[in-house]
Amino acid sequence: MSRLVLFGPGYTGERLARAVEARGWTVARIDRAGMDQAGRVLAAATHLLSTIPPDDAADPVLRRYRAGLPPWIGYLSSTGVYADTGGAWVDESAAVGLGRRTARAAADRDWLSLGAHVFRLPGIYGPGRSPLERVAAGTAYRVHLPGQVFSRIHVDDIVSAVIAAFDAPPGAYNIADDQPAPQDEVMAYAARLLGAPLPPVVPLDSLPPAARAFYAENRRVANGRAKRLLGWRPLYSSYRDGLRALSATISPASVSAPPSAAVTDQR
Residue 255 pLDDT > 80 = no
For range 71-97, the mean pLDDT: 96
Structure confidence by residue, pLDDT tens digits, 127-152:
999 999 999 999 999 999 999 999 99
Please give the biggest Cα pair distance in the chain. Answer: 55
Beta bridge partners of 221: 90
Give me the percent of the chain exceeding a pLDDT of 90.
84
pLDDT at position 211, please?
Answer: 85
Structural domain including 178 reads 71-250
- Do 247 and 121 touch, CB atoms closer than 8 A? no
pLDDT at position 213, please?
Answer: 85
Q: Is residue 162 part of a domain?
A: yes
pLDDT at position 51, please?
Answer: 97
CATH number at residue 141: 3.40.50.720
Distance, CA of 108 to CA of 117 (rounded, Å): 10
pLDDT at position 252, please?
Answer: 65
Q: What is the pTM of this model?
A: 0.93
Q: Is residue 236 part of a domain?
A: yes
pLDDT at position 172, please?
Answer: 98
Q: Is residue 20 part of a domain?
A: no
What are the angstrom distances between the C-alpha of 172 and each of 67, 111, 169, 207, 258? 21, 10, 10, 33, 40
Residue 161 pLDDT > 80 = yes
Q: What is the sign of the dihedral through the CA atoms of 19, 164, 222 and 169?
A: positive
Question: Domain count of the chain?
Answer: 1
pLDDT at position 261, please?
Answer: 38
Structure confidence by residue, pLDDT tens digits, 88-109:
999 999 999 987 788 999 999 9
Q: Is residue 42 part of a domain?
A: no
pLDDT at position 99, please?
Answer: 78
pLDDT at position 176, please?
Answer: 98
Residue 264 pLDDT > 90 = no
Q: Is residue 8 part of a domain?
A: no
Helix axes 239-247, 183-194, angle to 10 degrees: 30
pLDDT category, 258, cuts 50, 70, 90?
low
**DSSP letter (8 states) at residue 172:** E
In this predicted structure, which of 70-74, 87-91, 249-253 has the lowest mean pLDDT? 249-253
pLDDT category, 1, cuts 50, 70, 90?
confident
More confident position, 21 or 262: 21
Q: Is residue 173 part of a domain?
A: yes
Q: Is residue 52 part of a domain?
A: no
Q: Is residue 196 part of a domain?
A: yes
